Chains A and B, each alone.
Chain A
Amino acid sequence: MTIRVTPREETTQGFRTLVLVGSLFAGLIAVGIVFAVRGVNPLLAVWSIFRGSFGSAYGIKETITKAVPLILIGSGLALAYRAKFWNIGAESQLLLGAVFATWVGLTWGPHLPGWLIIPLMFIAGFIGGALWGTIPAILKIRFGINEVISTLMLNYVAAEIVKYLVVGPWKGETKFGYPYTDDLPDQAILRLLPLSRISPALVVLAVVLALVLTYIIFRTRFGYEIRVIGESPEAARYAGIDFFKTLLITMVISGGIAGIAGVGELSAIHHNLSYPETISAGYGFTAIIVAWLGKLNPAFVILSGLFFAGIIVGGDAIQMTLGLPAVTVSVFNGFLLVFLIAGDYLLYHRVKLVREHA
């Protein structure tokens, strides 16, 4: 018996869906094995996660809450990855967005009405994320520095900046020495649905931005140029596409939207700036898988964002019910991602077991 692989010319939508579902299923089996080795009944664990996320009103509300930053960041990453710009720095772009918004909120918040201060904070957050996002773009185009490295490094730099601010100059006077800034004034805080942490405005913003980005990618000249750059930089050069401008705008949008996600977390959930781990539960990294699972299409990212938000919420649930650490969710993320990219292989190849005649 040998395995024979031949290239696959065309795929149907049905087959693509089958591969996607199959990959997710295989990923869950792998996760199950890890649980089993650890002595946890895998079916129980998966059931607990599902029940925790989609099985109760509380779970659903939390899932939507966590889906918002994932959809926002994931959409922006989808744009960057279309240009094959490997932005792994969304986490820090989120943080910088929160930092800028905190400054605006604390400085001007007390003096301005809500209808003005909240948009100002979002604009500031967008600028913060965009500035942080364009640094690696400039480093790449002007100096040939790999963006994977620079975005990674900037993640750590941003985290240290936030830590420095909250234990140092911005430490809240009302916080009794804890590493928090003062709370934002009331008018700078987004209104939530009762008995939840869902901000309707944010949900609408996330969905609208995702759809706008879908339009940008598939219907605008800029989107066309991004896709050409991503698929073939040589052809893009031949076609006279301006790399610097295009990648810069890409990262302004990608970083800026991550910054907006940071403002959302700040204004709707935390109300103050604190340690980086508190501001973002690794959304910037999880969103990478979200973007990938959404096939780099922001419209699909809405769905994949909800899916992964569910896993995060479910992961919190099994912390309580099964006594597992929160980081367990990473096992899900890791395995699902591995199987998703492995599944792509089947889209381009036929794999057959054949009996070889000796």
Chain B
Amino acid sequence: MDIVVNILVRTVVAGTPLLLATLGEIVTERSGILNLGVEGMMSVGAVTGFIVTFTSGSPWLGMLVATLVGAAFSSIHAFVTITLRANQVVSGLALTMLGLGISGLWGKPYIGRPLPVKMEAAPIPLLSEIPVLGRVFFSHDPYVYLSIVLGVTMWFALRYTRAGITLRSTGENPRAVESQGANVGLIKYVSVMIGGAFAGMAGAHLSTAYSRSWIEGMTSGRGWIVIALTIFALWEPSRAFLGAYVFGGVFVLQFVLQPLGISPNILAMLPYLMTVAILLVYGLTKQGKRRMAAPQTLGEAYIRGSR
């Protein structure tokens, strides 16, 4: 029993950066922009979060700066794909390379120097006393709580606010949004940068809470899992929770099951195979295909006032 709870606890922690970045990518894709640069944005977030925490001694400042830098970094993608209407796939790949490169370059002097302070766990009084649930959800570092709060907020905002309707409409039919007098380009810029901010925050979680040191390439493919998770979640924050924790759980199980003679490599494949398998299941039925339908204009350039 204790082992199970332990696994669940670590699952939530491992799923948190995935959840944060996936929530961000959902916003970006809902506006009709595909950003494959999550891996790069997370890396940049991780390195800035680490450097700021290292030099200032404040993990909170690290989180804030990583978030802002993530947003700023993603604006490259926004400019190239929205203003210049360039290919979103290629631009996203460029952003990944750039992010991995810049983070490697800037992080070099910090390799092998652990943080003096990291984002410590802060159990929530009372709630953390609840058996099982308390340990699984309420005895973590603030990033975990933040990701849950942000996820629920986003779920609510997409459904029940004016901004949510506007955002969802932008990815589906930008012309309809524009005809109502809204600035489609601006909405897309903001959405891409929200995606960048969330990815930056997710990166900072990796380097200042999940671990306390900077390692080159420490995102180790999480950014790509996020791309998969966004589809897995069918662009719904509620399902992003499920997906992020399932994938986080697989991370944890890799280490737990290794002593039992189960190859860690086979387990490491699972999340990726699962993503393809789930897409396959959706793809098999007509009903599923409709549910799998991405925001209608995802990946397309929008030209204002085009005829």
Interface residues of A (CB under 8 A from B): 34-35, 38, 86, 88, 139, 142-146, 148-150, 152-157, 160-161, 163-164, 167-168, 285, 288-289, 292, 323-335, 337-338, 341-342, 344-345
Contact = CB atoms under 8 A, between A and B. Distances in A.
B280 A145 contact: yes
Nearest to A331: B101
Given A157-B269, A168-B265, A332-B101, 11 more contacts: A38-B105, A88-B89, A142-B283, A145-B280, A153-B228, A168-B263, A324-B105, A327-B104, A328-B101, A333-B97, A341-B91
A152 B228 contact: yes
B187 interface: no
Interface centre among A142, A324, A331, by most chain B C-beta atoms within 10 angstroms, is A331
B11 to A, nearest CB: 20
A113 to B, nearest CB: 35
Q: Top 5 closest A-B pairs, CB basis? A: A334-B98, A330-B101, A143-B283, A327-B104, A331-B101
A139 B276 contact: yes
Contacts of A334: 40, 94-102
Contact of A164 (B98, B265, B279): B265
B85 interface: yes
A345 B289 contact: no
Contact of B76 (A38, A146, A323, A338): A338
B56 interface: no
Contacts of A345: 84-86
B150 interface: no
B108 A149 contact: no
A167 B216 CA distance: 23
B270 to A, nearest CB: 9
Nearest to A152: B224
Interface in B50-109: 76, 79-80, 84-87, 89-91, 93-102, 104-106, 108
Contact of B217 (A157, A160, A327): A327
B273 A157 contact: yes
Contacts of B85: 345
Secondary structure dominating the interface of A: helix
Interface of B: 36, 40, 76, 79-80, 84-87, 89-91, 93-102, 104-106, 108, 216-217, 221, 224, 227-228, 231, 263, 265-266, 268-269, 272-273, 275-276, 279-280, 283-284, 289, 292
Contacts, number: 149
A96 B170 CA distance: 41
19 contacts: A38-B106, A143-B283, A144-B283, A146-B279, A152-B227, A153-B272, A156-B221, A163-B265, A168-B265, A324-B108, A325-B216, A326-B104, A327-B104, A327-B216, A330-B98, A334-B94, A335-B94, A338-B91, A341-B90
A146 B231 contact: yes
A43 to B, nearest CB: 17
B97 A337 contact: yes
Contacts of A35: 105
Nearest to B81: A341
A342 B217 CA distance: 27
A327 B101 contact: yes
Contacts of A167: 265
B226 to A, nearest CB: 11
Contacts of A143: 279-280, 283-284
Contacts of A153: 224, 228, 272-273, 275-276
Contact of A149 (B80, B95, B279): B279
Contacts of B231: 146, 149
A62 B231 CA distance: 41
B105 A34 contact: yes
A59 B302 CA distance: 45
Contacts of B96: 334
A342 B84 contact: yes
A146 B88 CA distance: 14
Nearest to B77: A338
A212 to B, nearest CB: 25
Contacts of B273: 153, 157
A164 B264 CA distance: 8
Contacts of A168: 263, 265
A170 B268 CA distance: 19
B150 to A, nearest CB: 24
Contacts of B84: 341-342, 344-345
